[in-house]
Every structure is written in C-alpha cells, then in structure tokens.
Amino acid sequence: MTATGARVLIVDESSLRRRSIASSVEDAGCEVAGLVGDFALIHSRVQSLLPHVVVLTATKSNSVTENAVKALSESNPDLRVVVLSGMDLPVNFSSRRVRTAGACDVIAETPNDRTIAIASQTAETLAGVLQHIAATGTSEIQRHPDQSLGIRSKNPSTDTAMHTTSVRVESRSRPAEIVAIASSTGGPEALEELLTGIPNSFVPPIVIVQHIAADFSASLAERLSRKTGLDVREASNEAQLDSGIVWVAPGGRHLEVKSRALGHRLVLNDDAPENSCRPSADVLFRSVAHSFGPHALSVVLTGLGSDGCAGARCIREADGYVLAQDEATSRVWSMPRHVIEAGLADMVVGLPDMSAEIIRCCRSVRGATQ
C-alpha cells in the first residue's frame, strides 16, 4: 500500500451515510473502492474490489458487527477494518470486542454526531486514521488488538481522561535556536492552533514532520500559512534554513537539517521509511540534535505510533529540550505517550499552552510552572 494508493470499501446500511463517509475518505486522499449497503455482500465485494481498508458502520446487532469484522480479518489478514459506532449503537456495544475481532480501530460517534450524515468531528477523526493507515500501511491496534489507539472526540464531555497541566520536569538555561515538531493523526488541527500562538517576530526556524500523503503536504503548508499569518512553506532540497520560516516536510520524503559552510540547509532524501513512516520524525530529530545540540527543541504532538521517540532521545542526549503534548488535549495520545513513558519529556504541555512554552524555550525564560 502506498501513501496515495489506499483503496477504501465503505459498508453502511444508509445510502446517505455511505455518501457522507465517501466524502471523508476522499478528503483523506484515499480512493473509494466501492459502497456496500448489505453486510451479506461484504465478502464478495472485498474479493472483487480488493480494498486496502474497509470502513464499516456497526449495526444494531453486536454479533453481526463482530462476526463481519472477524470474517474479514481472518480471510484477509492484510485488510484493515475501521468501525464507526453508527447512529443506533446498542447499549451493550463493546469496542474492545470489536477490536479483538480484528478491527484496527473503532471510532465512537458521540450523540451529537448521530445524524444521517456523519458529523465533521467524526469525519476528521476518520480522515486522520485513514491518512495514518495509508502512510504507514499498519496500525498499533492491529499489532496489539487489546489496546486502544486513544482517539478521542473533540467534545470534552465525551473524554474520560483528566486534563494534564503543564509540569516542568527539568529547567534548562540555553535558548533553543530551532524548533522541530512531530505530528500525525490530529496534527493539522494541532499545528494550526500551535502556530496561531507564534508571533510573526519569532526568530528561530520551525521544521515540521506531519505524517501526510505526498499530494497534501503543499496544501497543508499553504493552509497553515493562510490561517496563522506565518511564512509556512513546503520544504525543498538544499533550501537555506532561514529564520522566521516554518518548513513542512513533503509527504513521502524524509527531511533533515544539515550543517553547511554557509549555514544550515534542509536536505530531503528517499531513504527507507522508519517506524513505517516517510517522512519520519526520528530522522528529522536526529539531524537537528546533530546540527544544533543543546540549542535544539523538539515537540511531539498528537499522533499514532511511536515515531519521534527515538529522535527525542537523541535530542536529550545532545542536551536539547523535549516537549510532549498531554493526553487531555491530544486527538491520539500515542506518539507523545511513548516519549513521556520513556522519560524523555522535559515538559508535558496542553496544546493551548504549547506555543507559549516554545517561545519561553527559545527566549530562555524559565518562569514558574503554569
């Protein structure tokens, strides 16, 4: 499966919802392989259409949903199955049982979502999951069926996690001279919020690895530039790492920062994926640690998988600084969780406070913990 070639089969008993889900699939840069309204036809459609992913809306019957997921997983080991909870979720519905049956993720639709057309927040979550599957060809849940991806609704009332306030782990005196950011599922929205809090006068360059299909990284940079007022560009090979510019790694290529005789430059390469990702945050973080040492700042935002953890270790070993997004404000608390659990995070920060903490790190202001 390539980042731009994920084919998705949509299964939902409602024709209106099938079309709504199809729009979300296309927004994620994936191809709609087909639409199915009858669960009895799923197997034959999979055999004839050969999708990479099946997006299936749960029925009123738990057993029908679980049996369908199990049959798909057992007969097609490489097939990814994503389950939406649907409009008529049974009271005894168990997302854990569905995951155990073989689903790589279960996306819960909140009561406000349960209209004929899926709500925007559900569509965004689905798009993020599909982008990750398309980019990496794998899923944490598929490797560990009893664990949750940690994807949460944007509606705070549906989140069970307590908000984690910013907690300083260690204080450093050297100002950061570069900011390297890693993000995946939920990243575009998180990046927009974070960058909105960065002033135009901010000097250190910002380099970003967002797991995204190759066709969408340029439009992401354009959107972030438009929404935040900052100079956001898609990174190009051998571009000068100028101050005051935000660089987004192109989809499908690794991004590194290299020291040159006349300063630092961006270098793109097509080396093998790391953590099933290209671009990989680990690749970027390693290069930043090598080039900037104790003046490097890495930020790990919402996202699936563990990309960025090994790179964050390189940052810390170079005496740089590591920030990780907290669970309460992460759309998917997986990438930052790995960094935190490895003991690599200097601070665990809520997204609303992240831009202010980045500015403090770059100005070497170490005030009291918020």
Q: Is 184 a catalytic residue?
A: yes
Both tokens of 167, joined, read 């907690």
Residue-wise over 302-334: b if at least 16 C-beta within 10 A, else e? bbbbbbbbbbbbbbbebebbbbbbbbbbbbbbb
- Minimal CA–CA distance to 300: which of 267, 337, 266? 337
CA distance 40 to 271: 43
- Minimal CA–CA distance to 332: which of 81, 162, 149? 149
Catalytic residue from among 211, 264, 295, 338: 211
Helix (H) or strand (E) segment spanning residue 121: helix 120-136
Catalytic residue from among 307, 326, 346, 353: 307
- Minimal CA–CA distance to 334: which of 311, 358, 312, 307? 307
Residues 194, 224 contacting (CB under 8 angstroms): no
Residues 331, 301 contacting (CB under 8 angstroms): no
Q: How far is CA 78 from CA 218, 327, 343, in A?
A: 30, 30, 34
Torsional class of 337: left (φ above 0), alpha (ψ -120 to 50), beta (otherwise): alpha
Q: Is 211 a catalytic residue?
A: yes
Catalytic residue from among 20, 73, 85, 184: 184
Length of the chain: 370
Q: How far is CA 291 from CA 8, 88, 116, 248, 295, in A?
A: 41, 54, 52, 18, 9
Q: Is 164 in a helix, a strand, or coil?
A: coil
User: Catalytic residues, which ones?
Assistant: 184, 211, 307
